[in-house]
Amino acid sequence: MDCTIALVGAGGFVGSHLLWALLERTPWKILAVDLDFHRLQNLRSQKDSRVEFLLADIAEPQIIQMVSQCEIVVNLAAICTPSRYMSEALAVIESNFSHPAALADACAKTGSWLVYFSTSEVYGKTTLATEVLDEDASDFIQGSVKASRWSYAVAKQLSERYIAAIPNLKYSVVRPFNFIGPWMDFMPGVDGDGIPRVLANFSSALVQNEPMVLVNGGEARRSFTSIHDAVDFMFCLFENREKAYGEAFNVGNAKNELSIRELAVLMRRIYARILSVPEEKLSPFKELSGEAYYGEGYEDSLRRIPSVKKSKSLLGFEAKIPLEEALEESLRWFHAHYTSECKRS
């Protein structure tokens, strides 16, 4: 199939992996939109005629018009780091509701298929007793307005509801469950500021031999998903588009569930193996409360396990990569990339 596809947020962690895979696996033409392409510097210098890079903001109406001309529009652009949900709630709501809503309106007019990246955080303030989260049956529970951690979840939920309510819009919603892999987020003080998500933050601490911070004792649990499984999901979606219209899909690996404390222990063990040093040589953990680490208004989801039934039955997708393999790949990448970045800076 000859096709044009727009990747809004192509320069980000997920977008950049997806872009490379599209080039390898399809003959499609790609419109790559973002405010920053540092992850794709090599590709940009190759000047591949199938990719048009657009350094632009989706907040601009003319960019929305241009993007909505493509047959498939994948919207990945979002502020999606929890440390920003408290201090920048307004920007979080604009980026996760206002801009996606405007893009969805434009796609409804052109007839493009909108693939919208939402979040597993829509399920909200889960407890340790929460079981498998089902796309169409689980409730969404958020904390009070003062707990602005939930600004992101609520904006994403509203954008999902808005998209679902637009007459004649062809759309599918993706809810990622903690994707991990090379190029995730940033290293604080080296190529970004603030607190990245847990994989990047723990990797940064290990590479710099500083303590990994366990928020609230690291009791929260997550199911981690390799970015390569996430990319494979997207191809199952592209191949089954008629079945995917009007559906939301969890994308996750229920087998890769563990507590954040267990994650810290596992990452330390793997990193010691990579360095060929005894674990005791690496920095010990440090415990902090969520409010002390992230600021006032921080609350947490305590457990997130995806139901994977729908993506398997409708799209034939099943995540395969075990946690230890995904962590080792990520840690090897962080080690190689940032030891040279740190030397350079």
Binding to ligand UDP, residues 247-266 (CB under 6 A) = 260
Per CB under 6 A, does 180 bind ligand UDP?
Answer: no
Q: 130, 178, 256, 330: which one contacts ligand UDP (CB under 6 A)?
A: 178
Region binding ligand UDP by CB under 6 A among candidate stretches 34-42, 127-135, 209-217, 331-339: 209-217
Angle between the N-to-C axes of helices 227-239 and 13-25, in degrees from 0 to 180, rounded to the nearest 10: 50
Phi-psi region of 289 (alpha: psi -120 to 50; beta: other; left: phi over 0): beta
Per CB under 6 A, does 188 bind ligand UDP?
Answer: no
Q: 16, 159, 201, 226: which one contacts ligand UDP (CB under 6 A)?
A: 201
Per CB under 6 A, does 176 bind ligand UDP?
Answer: no
**Cβ closest to ligand UDP, residue 208 vs residue 240:** 208
**Cβ closest to ligand UDP, residue 55 vs residue 91:** 91
Q: 43, 215, 308, 319: which one contacts ligand UDP (CB under 6 A)?
A: 215
Per CB under 6 A, does 170 bind ligand UDP?
Answer: no
**Going residue by residue from 107 to 126, which x/- string records binding to ligand UDP, judged by CB under 6 A?**
--------------x-----
Per CB under 6 A, does 222 bind ligand UDP?
Answer: yes
Buried b (16+ CB within 10 A) or exposed e, 108-133: beeebbbbbbbbbbbbbbbeeebebb
Q: Which among 123, 152, 171, 294 is annotated as catalytic?
A: 152
Beta carbon of residue 147, minimum distance to ligand UDP (angstroms, whole number): 13
Per CB under 6 A, does 198 bind ligand UDP?
Answer: yes
152 included as an active-site residue: yes
**Cβ closest to ligand UDP, residue 177 vs residue 317:** 177
Per CB under 6 A, does 220 bind ligand UDP?
Answer: yes
Binding to ligand UDP, residues 279-308 (CB under 6 A) = 290, 300
Beta carbon of residue 44, minimum distance to ligand UDP (angstroms, whole number): 29
**Going residue by residue from 62 to 81, which x/- string records binding to ligand UDP, judged by CB under 6 A?**
--------------------
Binding footprint of ligand UDP on the chain (CB under 6 A)? 82, 121, 178, 197-198, 201, 213-215, 218, 220, 222, 260, 290, 300
> Which residues are marked as active site?
152
